[in-house]
Each structure stands twice: as structure tokens, then as C-alpha cells.
Amino acid sequence: MTQAALAFDLGGTDLRAALVLRDGSVAQVLTVPTAVTGGVAAVLAQMTGLAETLLALGPQGEIVGIGLGAPGPLDPATGLMIAPPTLPGWQDVPLAQLLADQLGHPVALDNDANMAAMGEWRFGAGRGHAHVLFITVSTGIGGGLVSEGKIFQGHRGLALEIGHMAISETGPRCACGSVGCFEALASGTALGRFGEAAAALPGGALIGQLQAEEGRPGARAVIAAARQGDAVAQALVAAEARWLGLGITNLLHLYSPDVVVIGGGLSNAFDLLQGGIASVVQQRAMSAYRDVAILRAELGAKAGLVGAAALAFSQADLRAQT
């Protein structure tokens, strides 16, 4: 019988669920607005409802486990959601156990970046590699490391907070209160803000116009302007690639992955960034680290769901071994 995992991606806005087969293919994806105001019970009811629908839709298969990606802070070891900012009132909720009790299968809980790392390792750009570093560059910068098949967690699951690695002594203040954080310099949000500043300067007209059309000072307008040949936007994209290269060089020295996989919204501009990143790594990394491939993520918006399923499969395999 076909083996499958149920995968959930719980966000403050949407709750997504999927049935994922052993080969990583996604049979069905369902999305509902998260019942935030209903609290834990309402969300749990949504999840069991989605699970029933998915199982009815099929294909029929043996469910080996459930993977649940959720916003941090959370404790993967105990399955506890500690106090997610996007789910007000959720304080120390043992969501993995609650869902397992409802659905009758073991539940593996972890955060989005770790799930995406699992997905890219097992089914995406990192497959076949022993040490996969996944970096998501989006509103912020997050990371996940899969080393010999396991997510590197550290104490309380708090490792890989790569967005708050300081790489400069100056720069805009980070949301965390510090200065020089990788995220404050190289996230999509940072690029959008640099674009907003440039829009007010000579030569910044196209960026300003595209940001106005988008309705917010985001990175997308900067990328679009760069693709249209705008010189200021191209300079900003080059600076973005340099910051990414500096951060990645550090991460190569610190984790020694055999492959780096870049996901998140800004990976849509991977073709524009790749050359600049590579050039900084060739210049700054020690020679033993220069041959590490830096690749674009393959799973896109499905990474969280596919990764949650990958974790469920891995844990099922571990249980089968012991």
C-alpha cells in the first residue's frame, strides 16, 4: 500500500494541509483561513476536519505520521508551542500531543525554516547531501540545517537563528534591537527599505514608481526595476548579493554544509543574485569552502508542507528501526 504523511503548515493567517506521498509528491493541498479568534480548540477542529477531507480525497494509503510546521518559539522535543506572536493567547500549548490524540498518529512539530530545510534535503535542491544548509530570505532571514538526516536543533531548538548573526558594526537597527544583523542588512524587507530610500534620490524614479504601484516599499519593485535595466536598482541588487555573500561565507565556516539552498521570496531573484554571492564567497571564504554549491530552493511555497511530511517520514523510519 502507498505510504503517505499528513502535513500541516499553521500560520497566523492561513492553515494549510496536504497529503504527501513517500516520493515527496503532494496529492492534495487544502487551505483555510486560520480560526485565530477561536483559540486552540477551533484550530484543532479545523485540522481534524482538513485531515478527514484529505483522507477522503485520497489516494488511499497507509498514513505513517503527521508533520506540523508552526510559528516559533516552539520546542520540537516536547511538541510545545511556547508563545507564537501570530497566534495571540497560545501559551505553552502541547499542540503535537493534542493533534496526535485527535488523529491517532504521531505528530512531529517544528518551525517553518526547519521544515523547509527538511523538505529541500529530502525532496528538493539538497537531496543526496549529508549536510544541507537552508536559508530563507524573505521578510526576515531564517535558517535550518539538516545534518546526517537530522535537524540541528541546539538547546531548546534555538539554533540557526542566522538572521541575528551580526556581520557589520553599523547599518539599520534590527527588529531585535541590535545593529548589523544579517537580517537587517540582507532580508527582503531591508532591500525594500534601501529601495525606498533610493527612490527619493536622483535616478530612483522607477523604483519609486514601482513601489507606489505595489502599494508598499517592498523588494519586489527593486527586483522588477533591476530586471528593466534600472541602474540604481541594479546597484541595490548588487549590494544585496554582497550582503548575502558575506553572511553565507560566515555560515560556510561555521557549519561546513556540503550545499547551501536559498529559499524565501527573494529566491525569485536568485538569477540576479547568484553571481554576486559567488564572487564574495570566492573572495572571502577559505579555500576548502569555496567549492560548496549555492543553489536555489526547488520546493517553493510547498517547502513547508513537503518538509513537514519529510520529517514525519524520517521519524516513522526511526521508529521502525528501533
Q: For binding to its own copies (CB under 8 A), which residues are involved?
A: 73, 130-131, 147, 152-162, 164-170, 176, 178, 246, 249-251, 253-258, 283-284, 286, 288-289, 292
Give the shortest CB-232-to-its own copies separation in angstroms.
22
d(CA 135, CA 42): 32
Hey, how many other C-beta atoms are within 10 angstroms of the C-beta on 162? 26
Q: Pairing mode, if any, of strands 259-263 and 131-137?
A: parallel
C-beta closer to its own copies: residue 39 or 73: 73
Give the shortest CB-276-to-its own copies separation in angstroms.
16
C-beta closer to its own copies: residue 165 or 197: 165
Give the shortest CB-119-to-its own copies separation in angstroms.
20
Give the shortest CB-224-to-its own copies separation in angstroms.
29
Residue 87: DSSP 8-state? S
Identity at 320, one-letter amino acid code: A
Choose among 257, 6, 297, 5: nearest CA to 152.
257
C-beta closer to its own copies: residue 72 or 217: 72
C-beta closer to its own copies: residue 162 or 309: 162
Choose among 295, 274, 281: nearest CA to 251.
281
C-beta closer to its own copies: residue 98 or 141: 141
Give the shortest CB-106-to-its own copies separation in angstroms.
21
Question: 147 pairs with which residues across the strands?
Answer: 131, 150
Choose among 40, 33, 38, 30: nearest CA to 8.
30
Give the shortest CB-251-to-its own copies separation in angstroms.
8
Choose among 54, 9, 46, 2: nearest CA to 24.
2
C-beta closer to its own copies: residue 161 or 214: 161
Task: Give buried/exposed letters for 169-185 (b at 16+ CB in 10 A, else e).
Answer: eebeebeeeeebbbbbb
